[in-house]
Structure 1
Amino acid sequence: MNQLYFQEHTLQKHDGSFWHFSKREMNDLILATLAFGLALAFMRMGGIFTILSSGDSLLSVIITMLIWGILYILALGPAFIIHELAHKFLARHYGCWAEFRADPKGLKTGIIIAAILGIVFMAPGAVMVAGNISREQNGKIALVGPISNLILFGIGIVGGGLLLGITTNIFVNQFVIAWLWGNSILAAFNMIPYGPLDGRKVKNWSEPIFWIFMIFTLGLVYALLTSQFEPILQSISNLI
């Protein structure tokens, strides 16, 4: 997601380093990624009530959550971080100020929901953009986020297939699954034309482009649900 802030006065074109990250932005990205990983670990464990009823020792639970948390951060962290940075860098390309800001309330709520219900529904934050841009530029800044996830999805199909051809390790298998699901869902969810989500800005700019990407991203999710990509992954893995 990206959030645009219009100001009454004309903002100066950004002249700093294109690759600049402030200390606060780096801290917010790390905080949001770790919180996301913790929520996903709770989801994997089925929530705190499932954990309590399992009879496992506290040490065993901590180790298991740590393992899955790290795996999900490695698999889904790029989906989240690259999505946000895609917004940032295109906004910077247009001469805007742009930085990621975590939403502490959204992070806390997401972790609580994951801990209690065993599902992940989190608003980790957004890239804040300030500058004078057109509706088209705003739409493109929004669209580049889901596009980055589609690119990562394609990388996951090829790279995941090759990894599965090298090893049948359960963690590698779960890594590939998480990578594909994470990128497809993040792309489709952000294309919803509501509130601060990317889809609303894309639709305000171009309805045809909005519907192309909305249908395509939903199609990816459906294809994963119906195991349409399994033969493709298998064919790629057989190359090894």
Structure 2
Amino acid sequence: MLERIPLRERRDLLIAWLAISIAFTLAFMWGRRVELAVFVLYFVLSFVTVGVAFVLHELAHKFSAMRYGYWAEFQKDNVMLLVAVVMAALVGIVFAAPGATYIYGNVNRAENGRISAAGPITNLLLCIPFAILMLFGGGLIGIVGLVGLRVNAMIATFNMLPVGVLDGRKVLSWNPAAFAMLMAASLGVLIWSLF
């Protein structure tokens, strides 16, 4: 499997993973007094939870496209990575669009919709083990569960917005019922994670 992820793509995934981990760390700490130990704790928490959510989301797109016979690669967007970190630092909000998985080939609407749905579906599936950790873990494990649940729900919901190049627009174009189900599930889990 690793041989299907070229070195440049691995590098882009790692850089994007680090940048959005920093952005989420800054957002979690926004309005709080900065202490090194707390920053490190939030960074490790973000690195683990955001890393799993982000990398598996993008790889779901990649391998779903490959299942249809297309080549696909993640490419980071340096401007959007900078925007994510700066917005998190200034206003405590993460606008995470660190890049995209590009599909090479003549993809039809149905294939594009299914490939696009693979990312948010992966995030929703990842909510299950994080919710279990949150509900039954207690202490630091419970916090990891809560953060993982929230991050996956945020990524799924954000990506399901039916605008621009986001997954939601392509899913809606392919199948409005699938779009409605995925958006409702993503938003429902996000709201639940906030309470």
Q: TM-score, normalised by structure 1?
A: 0.75
Distance (whole Å) between structure 1 residues aligned to residue 188 and residue 92 of structure 2: 26
Distance (whole Å) between structure 1 residues aligned to residue 112 and residue 83 of structure 2: 29
1:135 aligns with 2:104: no
Show the counterpart of 1:44.
28
Q: Which fold has the larger relative contact order, with Cα–Cα distance below 8 Å and residues 6 or more apart in sequence? A: 1
Q: Which amino acid aligns with 1:183?
A: N
Q: Which runs of 5+ in 2 are unaligned?
A: none
Deviation per residue, 1:124-154 (Å, 9 max, x gap):
1111111122211110000011110111011
Q: In 2, are the aligned partners of 1:18 and 1:92 still within 8 Å (CA)?
A: no
Show the counterpart of 1:88.
62
Question: Which among 29, 35, 54 is matched to residue 13 of structure 2?
Answer: 29
Shift of 1:184: 1.1
Distance (whole Å) between structure 1 residues aligned to residue 2 and residue 72 of structure 2: 10
Distance (whole Å) between structure 2 residues aligned to residue 208 and residue 147 of structure 1: 14
Q: Higher helix fraction: Structure 1 or Structure 2?
A: 2
Shift of 1:121: 1.6
1:180 aligns with 2:141: no
Show the counterpart of 2:4.
20
Q: Percent identity?
A: 36
SS in 2 for 1:192: coil
- Aligned-residue Cα RMSD (Å) equals 1.8
Distance (whole Å) between structure 1 residues aligned to residue 45 and residue 193 of structure 2: 20
1:153 aligns with 2:127: yes
Shift of 1:76: 2.0
Runs in 1 of length 4+ with deviation above 3 angstroms?
Answer: 159-162
Greater radius of gyration (CA):
1
Distance (whole Å) between structure 2 residues aligned to residue 20 and residue 35 of structure 1: 24
Q: TM-score, normalised by structure 2?
A: 0.92
Q: Which amino acid aligns with 2:163?
A: Y
Deviation per residue, 1:201-231 (Å, 9 max, x gap):
0111111111121122222222233x3xxxx
Q: In 2, are the aligned partners of 1:28 and 1:102 still within 8 Å (CA)?
A: yes
